Chains A and B, each alone.
Chain A
């Protein structure tokens, strides 16, 4: 909500001309979400400071915005919009200093065209990624950066720092450029935008980024963050249920693959998909169902091969299914192609007739997302009720985690367990015996003698089923 711009370029009061705001006035600019005020705490020849203060009324903000359109966390009454230098401040800055941003100054055009000594101070800058990010972003632009993290609550030191930073930039810059940088970078550093992305946002980014963004080494990071996260994995209803449970905002991304592949190698998830496809072809499978298909990465591979005449994907997340539909371009598919594919919501702990009738079912990186006590229910649904001729299961090999350096526990926040090779083979044997499947275990990815492979895979074949 607060930002100050100081210059020591004498006569410092010329700042008023550059900003088109008189140093001896307090000027108010009504915004749709509150009021922006410009005033000068100091205005001397050596040093002059302009302050932009934005007062946001969060209650009014929450009640005037359309609940269905707005980022849900913002629609709450408890938020930092009244205090933090968020995208709202950037919007106000963009409007209040629009002439200054254009670099036009009829009285002092030479000054407007020159770099002058500037100091920019933002006491509460929301910044995902911490102080280090601000350095990565502002230093290449020629600023000297001083970033001090704000503690969450001094009375609970064990909570550590908040996501806010007291930011102070000093440098010699053209004022218009400095303002444009702030206009783009404030929302990019902020976690959530206050309105949805529209195509105009891209235009705004390009015009405000003229002259500095194209050359910036972190251009991609800035662009990505400015334009917001392209997919929202939790819909509003999900979010309500999370809130009800006192859970914090959604940070677990169910489809994320944590371990980064070593540079130059095929990513593990791609190797895994390939391994599964190889097995399916080996088994002569035509009708296949991907249980827990997520956003449809494997489905997309299956669709490419006409040998798979019927391809089904199910997931418990409707958001994931929508994403899978987009991944597969279902809306643009020919009728003939479309007929091969079926997507539906299912939870694998509930018996479901729709899961039956396939040559093979795939459980790729799924079982580790199920609580261990609930796993028998899944086994019963898949092996007992749906009972396809073959089931392919992949899951992480916990022993391999040491290779991912320092990662002692689990590879993903939502993993309920990860198994050693011994634990996995024990499970495979028990399930096979219980439901009448023969099973073979293979490794996927780089194989190390003492650790095995990063992914372990089991291929179950129902007893009495012959190869085609």
Chain B
């Protein structure tokens, strides 16, 4: 019985003449979806599996499918004759493009068998000539097939051997996804044996020593696994000591190690290849010379056997010496190995003649954490879910490690500078200050996974609209870690003079199982998100803002408030000082309303609201007086009998217009810089380590904010309602009526305690007079129509945007890369561009 060891995620070409049994073989050993057959593709493009004229198009389709499957990391078996080298070459090219292993399985049967099988098939009429020609092609090319680029060519000779074959799927060596840690990932050691021992001890490892007192192994009491990122050797004082310890750990199973470029070169040197002896190679060779022959042989074997990268923890962690872009994770090819060992080379050299390295990590968008070394940096720092652990121990820096999954960095300082650095050491490229966003992070249709609103779809055209607003007007994305969600109103009342009433909110919340709600006065102003850092250093540390600013206040579409926001930021910092202290944080974010409305919206008020008032004020009194004049002509009855009714209607409109005018004027104050501007905060969105909007009750937020006593702060009046108590309903409704009778905006009702996910985060209940600003002066005459408004979509949006906002904050607090936070924030803006009745 022949055992075929095939790459579990590679490309398999079946090779054999028509009638050699490829399809039967494929059906026997592979899932139907794993097999792509040329016949099937021919059928797809021509409705006739035997139409040879469709072959070129069929191969286009076949290659496209193979390409897609390989990109997605799936085993793919091509069932086609593949008897000509050119046919195989095209597929090998596709396989190489995706850096997978490619095997060929050749099925050889006597020509007579193939011819006979073809005759027996009703759906095909290939003559003996065709089959024989194929057989000839195959035999001719078999001699050289091994050189075509296959990892292995498996030959099955004759029907019996074909029938008896057994398939073993081999996982790639780099696939150690079954190891789930916990891990201690250790940066470039470069022969710093003492520092390595100190670091291991600091990490809680117990070292084992041989008779000569040399460390030869280590184990961790909590059974942690060490993972070395390569470059154990060269430059440092004791390369053999490092090798001895790491080899011991690897062979006992307490450590893994990937290959570094220095190991690769040392291997070549030890094998006697001609290499330039520089960059500390001489030290290694000299130190190894002092070791015995056997150690040298073991070390050579160890280093030669190191593989280029590991995929660990069910695919969540990738370790490679110089890092690895996502496309290469778990892949196997020469260029993957080159990348893993040497990094991305740009082909350029700097002024010292050293190769310029590409900053692959700035483009990295993968879900797996990538830990690497290779390029010494001043500090280990997250960049897009990647971390470089080479903190230049051998150059007098530190030897660093990352505890995974704890994400804790543990370092020991170098005893001294063992080797001068070839170039100055700087921070990692793409770190906080240089974090770049990519257009592909935001445009096009996308689905975002959120913890609190499930999967949210962002349609392409919404993203396109948001891109314009975001890039033309929004503040620096590093400040913009949140945008406020929209909020739904209550359902319209069925009868009466009001469109909205508190009872509707109470009924909704009661029906969702909420027991206690808080009613917050709704301030009519402009929604504002305030980000306040204690000082510029805190802003730099937490937000990566490096221009000396220590705070930002922006609108609900991300625009900065006022041309110069600094005085407001400084005032607010002063106002929230007690809160920063009690939260033990050097920054915080508040969700507020900026008052008065006219401070920001004056242009809108003038164009939209005052203009309507002015037109009404000019036209309606004139109309009333003309109607009066006509009525005075003495036609009280007869043809002019309905004039009185018309006059009353117009007079009523005039009254409505004045009420409308009073409603907007109430929120206007003469503007003079920031004089008279205040903020009414109603949520502490987040501070260091915590997303308060997620974890704390609305009652907590009200308590915290009530402590702020500062001229810049307008307090938010509020009260609690036990939904089981009719008396409390009534009292709250009266409170609302008092707030709104003279034009007050109304209130927002929210669950008082931390609520379930599917509950609306808040419902607004707006006052009767205030709603004239929203629905027009005369809306009170059209209540019947407005009651028909539909809330479904608005509520869905409110929930989705709320979920996205929380996701953005949680990702920000959790140290996720900027692009990820930005993606959620961008999505909120995109959803807001969706056509939903803006009056809701």
Using CB atoms and an 8 Å cutoff, list the residues of chain A in contact with chain B.
1-2, 4, 22, 24-26, 37, 39-43, 51, 53, 55, 57-60, 63, 67, 76-80, 82-85, 123-124, 126, 150-153, 155-156, 158-159, 162-164, 166, 235-238, 240-241, 243-249, 316-318, 345-354, 369, 373-374, 377, 380-381, 385, 414
B629-649: contact bitstring with A at CB < 8 Å (1 yes, 0 no)?
110010100011011001001
Cα A84 to Cα B615 with chains together (Å): 6
Task: Report which of A26, A67, A245, A248 forms a contact with B608, defined as CB distance below 8 A.
Answer: A248
Please, which residues of chain A bring their CB within 8 A of the CB of B442?
350
Question: Would you call B616 an interface residue if the criterion is a C-beta within 8 Å of the partner chain's C-beta atoms?
Answer: yes
Cα A58 to Cα B785 with chains together (Å): 12
CB of B469 within 8 A of CB of A238, answer yes
Return the chain A residue nearest B549 by Cβ. Answer: A373
CB of B622 within 8 A of CB of A2, answer yes
Cα A347 to Cα B472 with chains together (Å): 8
Cα A236 to Cα B836 with chains together (Å): 11
Q: Check A248/B607 contact, CB under 8 A, given A345-B467, A351-B437.
A: yes
CB of B464 within 8 A of CB of A345, answer yes
Give A434 Cβ to nearest chain B Cβ, in Å.
12
Question: Would you call B140 an interface residue if the criterion is a C-beta within 8 Å of the partner chain's C-beta atoms?
Answer: no
CB of B610 within 8 A of CB of A82, answer no
Q: Is the interface of B mostly helix, strand, loop or mixed?
A: helix
Return the chain B residue nearest A354 by Cβ. Answer: B439
Please, which residues of chain B bring their CB within 8 A of the CB of A238?
465, 468-469, 833
CB of B618 within 8 A of CB of A244, answer no
Task: Report which of B439, B471, B623, B661 forms a contact with A2, defined as CB distance below 8 A.
Answer: B623
Please, which residues of chain A bring their CB within 8 A of the CB of B661?
153
Task: Report which of B609, B614, B619, B665 forms a contact with A78, defined as CB distance below 8 A.
Answer: B609
Cα A84 to Cα B619 with chains together (Å): 7
B664-684: contact bitstring with A at CB < 8 Å (1 yes, 0 no)?
010010100000000000000
Give B138 Cβ to nearest chain A Cβ, in Å.
42
Task: Report which of A59, A155, A373 forms a contact with B785, defined as CB distance below 8 A.
Answer: A59
Cα A159 to Cα B605 with chains together (Å): 10
Task: Report which of B471, B547, B630, B779 forms a contact with A350, defined as CB distance below 8 A.
Answer: B471
Give B796 Cβ to nearest chain A Cβ, in Å.
17
Give A235 Cβ to nearest chain B Cβ, in Å.
7
Cα A40 to Cα B472 with chains together (Å): 55
Please, which residues of chain A bring their CB within 8 A of the CB of B773?
78
Please, which residues of chain B bring their CB within 8 A of the CB of A77?
774-776, 779, 839
CB of A248 within 8 A of CB of B604, answer yes
Please, which residues of chain B bring their CB within 8 A of the CB of A59?
775-776, 778-779, 781-782, 785-786
CB of A67 within 8 A of CB of B835, answer yes
Please, which residues of chain B bring their CB within 8 A of the CB of A2?
619, 622-623, 626
Question: Would you call B476 an interface residue if the criterion is a C-beta within 8 Å of the partner chain's C-beta atoms?
Answer: yes
Return the chain A residue nearest B463 by Cβ. Answer: A345
Task: Report which of A63, A83, A235 forms a contact with B612, defined as CB distance below 8 A.
Answer: A83
Q: Check A350/B441 contact, CB under 8 A, given A1-B623, A84-B619.
A: yes
CB of A26 within 8 A of CB of B642, answer yes
Contact size range, B: 35 or more
Return the chain B residue nearest A25 by Cβ. Answer: B639
Q: Is the interface of A mostly helix, strand, loop or mixed?
A: mixed
Cα A346 to Cα B472 with chains together (Å): 12
Return the chain B residue nearest A123 by Cβ. Answer: B622
Please, which residues of chain A bring their CB within 8 A of the CB of B646?
26, 37
9 contacts between A and B (CB under 8 A): A1-B623, A58-B776, A78-B777, A80-B611, A164-B614, A248-B607, A345-B464, A351-B437, A385-B436
6 closest residue pairs by CB, A with B: A347-B471, A237-B465, A162-B614, A59-B782, A83-B615, A41-B629
State which residues 575-601 of B face A: CB under 8 Å: 597, 600-601
Please, which residues of chain A bring their CB within 8 A of the CB of B776?
58-59, 77-79
Give B522 Cβ to nearest chain A Cβ, in Å.
15
Please, which residues of chain A bring their CB within 8 A of the CB of B471?
316, 347-350
CB of A124 within 8 A of CB of B615, answer yes
Known contacts A67-B835, A123-B618, A373-B476; can you find 20 more A-B pairs with CB under 8 A? A2-B622, A2-B626, A25-B639, A26-B630, A41-B630, A51-B626, A60-B785, A77-B774, A80-B615, A123-B622, A123-B623, A152-B606, A153-B613, A164-B615, A241-B469, A241-B557, A244-B557, A248-B606, A352-B440, A380-B434
Task: Report which of A4, A318, A351, A352 forms a contact with B464, defined as CB distance below 8 A.
Answer: A318
Return the chain A residue nearest B643 by Cβ. Answer: A26
Question: Would you call B332 an interface residue if the criterion is a C-beta within 8 Å of the partner chain's C-beta atoms?
Answer: no
CB of B670 within 8 A of CB of A158, answer yes
Please, which residues of chain B bring their CB within 8 A of the CB of A159?
606, 610
Please, which residues of chain A bring their CB within 8 A of the CB of B467?
316, 345, 347
Give A72 Cβ to nearest chain B Cβ, in Å.
10
Cα A81 to Cα B674 with chains together (Å): 35
Please, which residues of chain B bring their CB within 8 A of the CB of A58?
776, 778
Please, which residues of chain B bring their CB within 8 A of the CB of A155?
665
Cα A22 to Cα B618 with chains together (Å): 27
Give A467 Cβ to nearest chain B Cβ, in Å.
20
For B441, B555, B608, B653, the residue with the greatest tally of chain A CB atoms inside 10 Å of its CB is B608
B756-785: contact bitstring with A at CB < 8 Å (1 yes, 0 no)?
000000000000000001111111011001
Task: Report which of A63, A150, A246, A352 forms a contact with B617, defined as CB distance below 8 A.
Answer: A150
CB of A317 within 8 A of CB of B615, answer no
Give B597 Cβ to nearest chain A Cβ, in Å.
8
CB of A39 within 8 A of CB of B640, answer yes
CB of B832 within 8 A of CB of A244, answer yes
Please, which residues of chain A bring their CB within 8 A of the CB of B619?
1-2, 83-85, 123-124
CB of A83 within 8 A of CB of B618, answer yes
Please, which residues of chain B bring their CB within 8 A of the CB of A78?
608-609, 612, 773-777
Cα A341 to Cα B557 with chains together (Å): 34
Please, which residues of chain B bring their CB within 8 A of the CB of A354?
439
B223-250: contact bitstring with A at CB < 8 Å (1 yes, 0 no)?
0000000000000000000000000000
CB of A316 within 8 A of CB of B472, answer yes
Question: Would you call B539 an interface residue if the criterion is a C-beta within 8 Å of the partner chain's C-beta atoms?
Answer: no
Q: Check A162/B615 contact, CB under 8 A, given A43-B633, A79-B776, A348-B471.
A: yes
Give B572 Cβ to nearest chain A Cβ, in Å.
20
CB of A162 within 8 A of CB of B610, answer yes
Question: Would you call B556 an interface residue if the criterion is a C-beta within 8 Å of the partner chain's C-beta atoms?
Answer: yes
Q: Check A236/B469 contact, CB under 8 A, given A24-B640, A58-B778.
A: no
Return the chain A residue nearest B646 by Cβ. Answer: A37
Task: Report which of A43, A162, A244, A352 forms a contact with B439, defined as CB distance below 8 A.
Answer: A352
Please, which residues of chain B bring their CB within 8 A of the CB of A39?
626-627, 630, 640, 643
Cα A347 to Cα B829 with chains together (Å): 16
Q: Check A163/B611 contact, CB under 8 A, given A241-B465, A317-B468.
A: yes
Give A375 Cβ to nearest chain B Cβ, in Å.
11
CB of A351 within 8 A of CB of B615, answer no
Return the chain B residue nearest A246 by Cβ. Answer: B601
CB of B547 within 8 A of CB of A373, answer yes
Question: Would you call B443 an interface residue if the criterion is a C-beta within 8 Å of the partner chain's C-beta atoms?
Answer: yes
CB of A316 within 8 A of CB of B468, answer yes
Task: Report which of A248, A345, A351 forms a contact with B436, defined as CB distance below 8 A.
Answer: A351
Give B575 Cβ to nearest chain A Cβ, in Å.
23
Task: Report which of A22, A82, A162 forms a contact with B653, defined as CB distance below 8 A.
Answer: A82
Cα A43 to Cα B622 with chains together (Å): 18
Task: Report which of B439, B470, B614 forms a contact with A150, defined as CB distance below 8 A.
Answer: B614
Cα A316 to Cα B476 with chains together (Å): 17
